[in-house]
């Protein structure tokens, strides 16, 4: 039973299109995150939500918009896709973001390729 | 600002060799430190963690000790296996937002 799942696993699209990536966790966690991993494997946080409330919003273009319909889901919508958006996007969750020792559980990733 | 620096990879070892992956950090406040591992084609998973100075995290034969005096959290394993081939990430968090700051990752390849 997958703890953090993402769909789709692969996404190939053209520049200018709009796309969404979905994330769901069945761990009962309060906090969810989106990370971007570039071609050199560098990971950077983009957003986090706690109980549907935005907690972290890093310097990310406005074309990226997270949406959390409930605490088990955090979706990422990307408008007007650009070549530089090509990356692997990871969703993660943790029990409570305020407790620094809690681990984050990561999904399998979504590889986005913009052509 | 807060940052994590890992040794450059890739690291290539023979099976049963000793592994060290260096990690140093810069942080305001008192960070919690983590090692995450990413196996090919998968997401990250926690390998071990330490939350205060001199704590030793350990799991699956891997160990790392939180050294405040040298701001380091080096990962070690006495005898690596082919199945340990993966990318290893050192990370820290200092805030109550859960924001993890990652090092650049170190690719480990273990040959039989």
B32 Cβ under 8 Å from any chain A Cβ:
yes
- The C-alpha atoms of residue B79 and residue B84 are separated, in whole angstroms, by 10
B88 Cβ under 8 Å from any chain A Cβ:
no
Chain B's closest residue to A35, CA to CA, is B100
Distance from CA of B10 to the nearest CA of A (A): 12
Chain segment B80-107, per-residue pLDDT in tens:
999 999 999 999 998 777 889 999 999 9
Q: List, as one string, the DSSP characters of A5-56.
A: EEE-SEEEE-TT--EEEEEEE-S--SEEEEEEE-TT--EEEEEEEETTEEEE
A49 within 8 A of A96, measured Cβ to Cβ: no
Chain segment B25-70, per-residue pLDDT in tens:
999 888 999 999 999 988 999 999 999 999 999 999 999 999 999 9
| Position A51 confidence tier, pLDDT thresholds 50, 70, 90 | confident
Reply yes or no: is the peptide bond before residue A8 cis, omega within 30 of 0.
Answer: yes
Instruction: Write down the pLDDT at residue A97.
Output: 64
Of B42, B44, B100, the CB nearest to A45: B100
Query: First CA to last CA across chain A, in angstroms?
Result: 34
DSSP β-bridge partners for residue B21: B75
Residue B67 DSSP symbol:
B
Question: B38 contacts in A (CB within 8 Å)?
Answer: 41
Give the three-class secondary structure for B43: coil
Instruction: Write down the pLDDT at residue B31.
Output: 92
């Amino acid at each position: 039973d997958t703890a953090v799942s993402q769909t789709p696993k692969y996404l190939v699209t053209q520049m200018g299109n709009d796309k969404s990536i979905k994330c769901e966790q069945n761990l009962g966690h309060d906090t969810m995150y989106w990370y971007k991993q570039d071609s050199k494997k560098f990971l950077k946080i983009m957003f986090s939500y706690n109980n549907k409330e935005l907690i972290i919003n890093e310097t990310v273009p406005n074309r990226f918009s997270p949406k959390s319909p409930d605490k088990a889901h955090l979706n990422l919508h990307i408008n007007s896709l650009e070549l530089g958006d090509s990356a692997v996007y990871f969703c993660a969750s943790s029990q409570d973001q305020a407790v620094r020792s809690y681990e984050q559980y990561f999904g399998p990733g979504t590889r986005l390729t913009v052509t | 600002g807060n940052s994590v620096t890992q040794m450059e990879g890739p690291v290539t070892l023979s099976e049963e060799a000793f592994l060290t992956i260096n990690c140093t950090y810069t942080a305001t406040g008192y960070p919690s430190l983590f090692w995450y591992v990413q196996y090919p084609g998968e997401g990250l998973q926690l390998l071990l963690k330490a939350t205060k100075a001199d704590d030793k995290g350990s799991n699956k034969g891997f160990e790392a000790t939180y050294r405040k005096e040298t701001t380091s959290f080096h990962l070690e394993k006495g005898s690596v296996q082919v199945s340990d081939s993966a990318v290893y990430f050192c990370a820290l968090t200092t805030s109550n937002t859960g924001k993890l700051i990652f090092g650049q990752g170190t690719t480990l390849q273990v040959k039989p």
